[in-house]
Structure 1
Amino acid sequence: MCGIAGVMHADPQKPVDPNTLVAMAAIQHHRGPDGFGYEVQKDRGVGFSHARLTIIDLDENRARQPFVSADKQLMLAVNGELYDYKRIRADLVSRGARFRTKSDSEMVLHLYPRLGLEDMLPQLRGEFGIALYDRHRDRLMLIRDRFGVKPLYWTEVNGTLVFGSELKVLFAHPEVPRRFEAQGLYHQLMQTMVPGHTAFDGIHQVKPGHCLIIERSHGKLQIRDERYWDMDFPLLEERGQERDEDFYIEGIRETLMESVQLRLEADVPVACYLSGGIDSCITLGLAAASQQSAVKAFTIGFDNVDYDETAIAQEMAQSVGADQDIMRLKAEHLYDNLVETLWHAERTIYNTLGVAKLLMSRHVNQAGYRVVVTGEGSDELFGGYPSFRRDMFLHGLDTLSPAERASWQQLLSESNQLFSGAMLAENEWRDPALDKLVGFTPSCLQPWLASAIHTPGLMSESMRDQIHGYEPGRAIAEALDGDMIRGRHPLDKAQYVWIKTMLEGQILTWGGDRVDMANSMEARPPFLDHHLAERAVHLPPSMRIKGRTEKYVLREAMKGLLPKVLYEREKFAFMAPPAHTDPKKWAAMRALADQYLSDQAIQDAGLLDVNGVKALFQLHEAADTSASTQVQLDAVINHMIGVQVLHHQFVAQDIPALARKRAAELGWAA
């Protein structure tokens, strides 16, 4: 697990500055504190750099990246983990391959020339961002894992393609502009990003399951985006007759056990994150069953009883003999670390869970661990979120009588009251473009589309002018592949949209990689193994949500592993308490607002409108504002503070100078 960076010039004779490559590695030192390396193809205008976190093959000199193939034709830099590498390595060696390291990453140098790009990609199992330069074909390939667990950004400026694991890596290049885009600002303020986009002008993401191919032609860079994998739910007519329940249960059990066991492979100790949900409890249980020694389990505890899950987590830890470490957090202290969290998240966050996760990763690192197994992805594969249940029963059960439908609507209104305004909209929200594409507006997007009514009034006049007539729902709809949505069951559609928006843009960024790697902590989510996902898409909807039970097949597959209270428990989303629920936390938030949302700070940044910001606070504090609306407005306030902080960190601050300073402090030099 590391950080990668690099450049490719349209003019192959234009030299690559090694000092810039080193600075790009240094600015992401937190991703790879154990060493760095760089390589330049002097006559090709291509250069890579790499900051390394040692997980597999601890020999710093032998496994230092970027790798160059023995014939000098390939250059490689990898961020992430490639699983099942021992089997693949043995097969390659039997066919004559000669490895120079024990690193999992090196196998790319041997698979690519033997199989080619198209046939190599299915062999890559894991979480990764890969940069591979083929000198013979004079092409650069940027490859991102199937769900976007690992980040990978790119931009083209002045005939140069610049890429890196984080936005700040691109901004460390002196030619890359640092400015907000009006549409990007809009989406930061409403929470949900357009897939593949960022808040900053000209900065893109390699999409999950995609490969960006960059070649030179007549003095220009030719860039094409190719998808190699997607969550391909069957068409309704392809589903056919359902099999016996045991067929699905055994298939999920077998594949999940394999996925967990692969993610325990490391040359350093592996721990588990443990909340009170069944997902992290399952990963802990399977990890404990796969290891001889007691597994270390780390749990976050909140001082708000409505959001604290430590009691259930303790019961699970005791049931498998885990060595549990509980880190207890006070609500008001979360805002003390928000600014640091935003530096790493590089986007705004609606809930301070991201701060809690950053503090937890620091705690785990200080305890001597740098790898954890996590539960992310289970809800996405098995229908765990309340929004999925709403969409399934409101749009997927056309045979219900009016009385039965009314009964289900009552159930939906009663469940997950705690998350109304955040995970569920207070009132149904319809978007024409999404209705047309999906057949309905997915419930997961409704609270954020509802909050978007506040967004134009919060933006400065110059920014507001640029989004005149802009439709955020349409922008999201146009970024989704309709061929992967049309003709599917409503539950399939809802899960697909969540995976492309909320999972990649939120859970795996400020709830995952970015706050874990802030403290050099590699998080491995076994539920996001593509072999498991390819089984999950073929599950009948009734095996995912059966009556009142979500994730039915998973519960049944792991029934013997889970304590009774967990097996029977309804989904409880892991979140930090909203600011308005605690006077001390509200005061901590207001202190940050006084600093970053002052009239002068707003005018200096030029992003927000002073009167619009004040009006939103007044609405939040009005006596007739409902609790659900307050939850929604809490999120908007966090986003307003967030964009101001991001402007201070990435626009007002001289990032290239900061990167050079970091390199000097680390003693990293070309």
Structure 2
Amino acid sequence: LRTAPAPLMLLSRHVRESDYKVVLTGEVADEVFGGYDIFKEAKIRRFCHRYPDSTLRPLILKKLYPYLKYNPAASGDFGKQFFQQGMEYIDQPFFAHVPRWSTTRRSWRFFSAEMKSAVESKVGYESILRLLPKDIGRWDPLNRDQYVENHTLLSGYLLNSQGDRMAMANSVEGRFPFLDHRVMEFAANIPARYKIRILNEKFILKKSMAGLIPDSIRKRSKQPYRAPDSLSFFSGGKPVPYVQELLSEESLRTAGYFNPAAVGKLLNKGANGRIIGFADNMAFVGILSTMLLDKMFIQGYSAASFE
């Protein structure tokens, strides 16, 4: 559902062509020291929940995501609707992640009827609860948020699809100092106020680096590694040829995963430059990736046929 692995694969190629075989990476520092915006977002949402009638507290959300052109925090009623998602789960350990999961789940509207039926019977928040420690409800809220993040996005995606696979595609070995069990055990015992000081993420880590790395790096705003999404796949007001072929009504009906009419509307939005939100971008990338996998590994087309 995300495009960041592609430029990371190109980066690892550049590293290999520069005659390096091993790299150190700062991956996992955000997970163990509270660096992600999702942790700050959850902190603010809990803060707002204590005084639900306050009109001032929600304004703090505007300090999040300054790097996003279409920032949900700055979009009035839509932003309010986005950040209020999942408030009924405020006492649950997965509370911080409900807005993200809800956004991803909106991709289901593009599934065929058969696919929707197959998925809906298998996915639910109770499946997450079965994977969590029985005493997690007694943990500090930030620690709960970190645990869920570590056991979902980190392990399955960042270290796997976006990490090892992209590096090893060019025979580069990644080393992860922040994954050292002693570092993680130490970080797990640090009080939350030293990880996020008000809204200053990774506070104790940045403090410990004073004099060791330039302040221009140590004090700069957090910004994720991003790559273009749907905009990359349209040119001159229409999908590039291989996208047009993969997402044609005939191809979609043959594969059977997606509703051709719904995907057609999404393509029209892309052609007009109107795929701007998280949900539509993730849906587009997910649909295109699935159709590529189907063509290459189910139907047996060669990659060369899409060049």
TM range (shorter): 0.7 to 0.9
Distance of 1:495 and 1:484 partners within structure 2 = 15
Aligned length: 294
**1:651 and 2:298 correspond:** yes
| 1:495 corresponds to which of 119, 123, 146 | 146
Q: Normalized against structure 2, the TM-score is what?
A: 0.82
| 1:447 corresponds to which of 100, 118, 124 | 100
Per the TM alignment, residue 601 of structure 1 is displaced from its structure 2 partner at its CA by 2.0
CA deviation digits over 1:120-140, x for unaligned, max 9? xxxxxxxxxxxxxxxxxxxxx
For 1:314-329, what aligned pairs fall within 5 Å after superposition? Answer: none
Q: Secondary structure at the match of 1:635?
A: helix
What one-letter code is carried by the residue in structure 2 that aligns with 1:409? P
Inter-CA distance 652–464: structure 2 relative to 1 (3 Å threshold) = same
CA deviation digits over 1:323-357, x for unaligned, max 9? xxxxxxxxxxxxxxxxxxxxxxxxxx32x221001
**1:515 and 2:162 correspond:** no
Identity of aligned residues (%): 25
For 1:435-474, what aligned pairs fall within 5 Å after superposition? Answer: 437-438=92-93, 441-442=95-96, 444-455=97-108, 457-468=109-120, 471-474=123-126
**1:531 and 2:220 correspond:** no
Inter-CA distance 540–432: structure 2 relative to 1 (3 Å threshold) = closer
| 2:191 corresponds to which of 540, 550, 567 | 540
Inter-CA distance 544–408: structure 2 relative to 1 (3 Å threshold) = farther
| 2:247 corresponds to which of 597, 618, 623 | 597
Instruction: List alignment gaps of at least 5 residues for structure 1.
Output: 1-348, 656-670
Distance of 2:181 and 2:67 partners within structure 1 = 32
Q: 2:131 is matched with which residue? A: 480
Per the TM alignment, residue 637 of structure 1 is displaced from its structure 2 partner at its CA by 0.3
Q: 2:24 is matched with which residue? A: 373
What one-letter code is carried by the residue in structure 2 that aligns with 1:368? D
What one-letter code is carried by the residue in structure 2 that aligns with 1:579? S
What one-letter code is carried by the residue in structure 1 that aligns with 2:35? G
Inter-CA distance 454–574: structure 2 relative to 1 (3 Å threshold) = closer
| 1:362 corresponds to which of 3, 6, 13 | 13
Q: 1:335 is matched with which residue? A: none
Q: Normalized against structure 1, the TM-score is what?
A: 0.40
Distance of 1:423 and 1:513 partners within structure 2 = 32
**1:615 and 2:270 correspond:** no
Instruction: List alignment gaps of at least 5 residues for structure 2.
Output: 303-307
Q: Secondary structure at the match of 2:174?
A: strand
Q: 1:567 is matched with which residue? A: 218
Check the 8 A contact 1:357/1:515 in 2, yes or no. Answer: yes
Per the TM alignment, residue 517 of structure 1 is displaced from its structure 2 partner at its CA by 0.9
What one-letter code is carried by the residue in structure 2 that aligns with 1:449? S
CA deviation digits over 1:409-466, x for unaligned, max 9? 323223214348799894125459965642x621x452342241341x3222332332
Q: 1:635 is matched with which residue? A: 282
| 1:385 corresponds to which of 36, 54, 66 | 36
Per the TM alignment, residue 551 of structure 1 is displaced from its structure 2 partner at its CA by 0.3
Check the 8 A contact 2:195/2:203 in 1, yes or no. Answer: yes
Q: Secondary structure at the match of 2:193?
A: helix
Distance of 1:547 and 1:566 partners within structure 2 = 20
Q: 1:222 is matched with which residue? A: none
Inter-CA distance 569–432: structure 2 relative to 1 (3 Å threshold) = closer
Distance of 1:548 and 1:597 partners within structure 2 = 43
Structure having the larger proportion of residues in helix: 2
Distance of 2:271 and 2:66 partners within structure 1 = 21
Distance of 1:606 and 1:459 partners within structure 2 = 9
Check the 8 A contact 2:65/2:71 in 1, yes or no. Answer: no
Check the 8 A contact 1:429/1:441 in 2, yes or no. Answer: no
CA RMSD of aligned residues (A): 3.3
Check the 8 A contact 2:46/2:90 in 1, yes or no. Answer: no
Per the TM alignment, residue 526 of structure 1 is displaced from its structure 2 partner at its CA by 0.8
Q: Secondary structure at the match of 2:263?
A: helix
Q: 1:606 is matched with which residue? A: 256
For 1:208-357, what aligned pairs fall within 5 Å after superposition? Answer: 349-350=1-2, 352-357=3-8
Distance of 1:422 and 1:598 partners within structure 2 = 32
> Whose RCO is larger (CA < 8 A, sep 6+)?
2
| 2:235 corresponds to which of 584, 587, 591 | 587
What one-letter code is carried by the residue in structure 2 that aligns with 1:384? G
Inter-CA distance 422–488: structure 2 relative to 1 (3 Å threshold) = farther
Distance of 1:633 and 1:392 partners within structure 2 = 27
Distance of 2:60 and 2:217 partners within structure 1 = 20
Q: Secondary structure at the match of 1:636?
A: helix
Check the 8 A contact 2:269/2:275 in 1, yes or no. Answer: no
| 1:411 corresponds to which of 24, 48, 60 | 60
Structure having the larger proportion of residues in strand: 1
Q: 1:241 is matched with which residue? A: none
Check the 8 A contact 1:433/1:473 in 2, yes or no. Answer: no
